Structure 1
């Protein structure tokens, strides 16, 4: 593809994303797969520009509005070329030739806009905090409640691209073996600072082409997610439920922790997500997993198996605010009503899943959210409703499962990009007392 062809493709993709409810990564993946003429280098260039614009959207739109121009996919691209790349208006003009699969020539209005943008910076002292931090204005009070004076630093970290974290699959080898296998393919990974199973790569790459990935020795998994699986403390021979298993990332980690011994049930309400996990389970060599599709969080299967499990992990549906480094478009699809619905759903899921836990067993509630109403307040409300559960301090569980000093203060696990260089994660570990019901 020509440089202008790549840019025209970015505009097409931005338009597709704007008109679809699906996440940007799914839209982009389907779009690029349908256009086989786009080669690997072109895909990478298109993706880099696309995700860069999505990460800079609030600032770009604020500057366009200051220039009295209505933001659009094409104008966002033109602005990004000037603001992020310092491309001159004349150089932009040379990229807009109107050729086949290229950008339309610049109009007089485009030229006027580029002249206004020339020499400007992506940051301006008049920008509100929510614009500088790249998040919706309405969510600022909720984020401030979670972070207080560190809000700007946390949102700054969420603007940046996340590293590529891998989890070593101990069913296939150890971290030293994984480091050696990656190094043999020219990939210099570094051990993650907290997870004893984690490796970090310096940049994104097509892992599906790497032998260590194809052989199941490593899986892509953020370090925070790895820590959550470790803190679940699933052991060989136990009965364990991954209640909201999704595509199976934590299921794989739990199966490895259990050494393929015992019973691991991966539940989800989405048949397609569960089917997607099948290949991952096979590649990882996880043989103790049974997949179960539930009609809802209150499926009759839950009642029939009440009090039967040593560990129940509820990685609940949530706002995903902790994953904005990876999903920068998701923040603009959130609504206050959507979060209220999620909070209600989380409570229902917890109330149902807790029935599965045997006396002395543990219920682990987790989200990839930064919001207190989905995290601490949700856990506190659950404990108030269920007096047969008690909260276990995360520091004690950390020492017993991971070792060393826990990086979190207080009884809960709370990880964030600025503090821990992980996605945002929350977990509450609760133990059931008394007799099963």
Structure 2
């Protein structure tokens, strides 16, 4: 491994040291562990100070510090995200001494059974913890209860609970049945798998080609075009299937949205908040699949809109890579519709939201955000949904979706919309993972090892 260095401008979120972690080291492992710890601490502090997403801060850091090898990057990345996953417990610890940060790093490595146990042991030694490291290593951490027992044994003076692993305000705005709470917590503190879709190629053909590259790929159980790509990082730029637009990375829960839209080959759809176009590409791919199945011409089209021109430029590149025609962009430039009214067979509103459903991918956000991330968006969401609904033609479909788990952003917005727009009514949908029929669908992360998602389908009356 290389010798990681700390950021040039440390911040002071952690009170252990404003100028880095300065302790005496006595072994090569301790020296490397100290260097890693300084880098991770400064990244951690910078994320809390700037309120910028951890993946963005980390990407910028690696871009500026190219000397780190792949092993170094993995230790830094995984240790950093582990701190955020277990921060609900770690933030309860005394933070007034340098040893505290080493203890947290060692605890995270033990809880998640990271392979760099020599570094974890060195962190344990630098923390001057009295608990025997080898004894802690022997504990079973396969279950969430096992992880809790290890943390409690390591820090006996603290009092931990499973609910602490998500912020207190989350439980107020994202209620869940008590018997499902542990399942949600376990999903939220586990690293999510990588999901993808096959485009213009069968999922089995994609799986075969990906497996030949050593990727842990398999066909998804729920959708014909879904791909499970395992949990290991993948360099997409080295995969010809990706470069040729034959596969796209898209979480399984996100794929539920396109499946709920169920576009027909001759439909005209509007993706109102398209971003870089993941849902647009899925809609077009589903149109192609349906046209091939029905042996009919693909005559429909999609218009994609967003307020960000750079996102639409990325969408255009992705559509070109996939060799998709029938896709146009129309940027939102004002409150006025950028498309004709009462024109579309289907309108998808994938609204801006708190993204609580994606917290397992972004564990830092649960600690960077506050309850206002949920409570301050409903008015905007209702406004976007109401304005976008004007583009739905009689008997057309309107789909509202978020990656939030809160009724405030989901059911409450749909109910408010329906109260104001009697020309629309709910269309019941089938839960793709449980088979249940429901008026509005919330996908929980533990149901199919995915993100969390909400989707509601409505129809405009004739």
| Alignment TM-score > 0.5, same fold | yes
Distance, in Å, in 1 between the alignment partners of 2:197 and 2:411 is: 27
- Aligned-pair distance for 1:88? 9.2
Q: 4+ runs of 1 displaced by more than 4 Å?
A: 86-91, 116-120
* 1:80 aligned onto 2:118: no
TM-score, normalization by structure 1: 0.84
Q: Unaligned regions of 5+ residues in structure 1, if any?
A: 96-105
Distance, in Å, in 1 between the alignment partners of 2:260 and 2:54 is: 31
Q: Unaligned regions of 5+ residues in structure 2, if any?
A: 4-31, 112-116, 137-148, 289-297
Match of 1:48 in 2: 78
Does the aligned pair in 2 maintain the 1:368–1:424 contact within 8 Å? yes
Q: How does 1:28-427 map to 2 (within 5 A)?
A: 28-62=58-92, 64=93, 68-70=94-96, 75-82=100-107, 84-85=109-110, 91-92=121-122, 110-111=127-128, 114-115=129-130, 121-123=150-152, 126-131=159-164, 134-143=165-174, 145-170=175-200, 173-205=201-233, 206-259=235-288, 261-296=299-334, 298-302=335-339, 305-395=340-430, 407-427=435-455
Distance, in Å, in 2 between the alignment partners of 1:301 and 1:117 is: 65
Aligned-pair Cα RMSD in Å: 2.7
Distance, in Å, in 2 between the alignment partners of 1:69 and 1:52 is: 18
Distance, in Å, in 2 between the alignment partners of 1:431 and 1:337 is: 31
Does the aligned pair in 2 maintain the 1:222–1:422 contact within 8 Å? yes
Does the aligned pair in 2 maintain the 1:60–1:122 contact within 8 Å? no
- Aligned-pair distance for 1:123? 4.9
TM-score, normalization by structure 2: 0.79
Distance, in Å, in 2 between the alignment partners of 1:354 and 1:330 is: 31
Match of 1:99 in 2: none
Distance, in Å, in 2 between the alignment partners of 1:389 and 1:272 is: 33
Q: Could you say if the C-alpha distance between residues 244 and 261 of structure 1 is closer, same or farther in structure 2, counting changes exceeding 3 Å?
A: same
- SS in structure 1 at match of 2:255: helix
Distance, in Å, in 2 between the alignment partners of 1:269 and 1:422 is: 28
Q: Which moved more, 1:364-373 or 1:43-52?
A: 43-52
- Aligned-pair distance for 1:406? 5.5
- Across the two proteins, how many residue pairs are aligned to each other? 399
Does the aligned pair in 2 maintain the 1:369–1:424 contact within 8 Å? yes
- SS in structure 2 at match of 1:301: coil
- Aligned-pair distance for 1:16? 2.0
Q: Could you say if the C-alpha distance between residues 377 and 8 of structure 1 is closer, same or farther in structure 2, counting changes exceeding 3 Å?
A: same
Distance, in Å, in 1 between the alignment partners of 2:310 and 2:225 is: 29
Distance, in Å, in 1 between the alignment partners of 2:119 and 2:216 is: 39
Q: Which moved more, 1:38-47 or 1:225-234?
A: 38-47
Does the aligned pair in 2 maintain the 1:53–1:77 contact within 8 Å? no
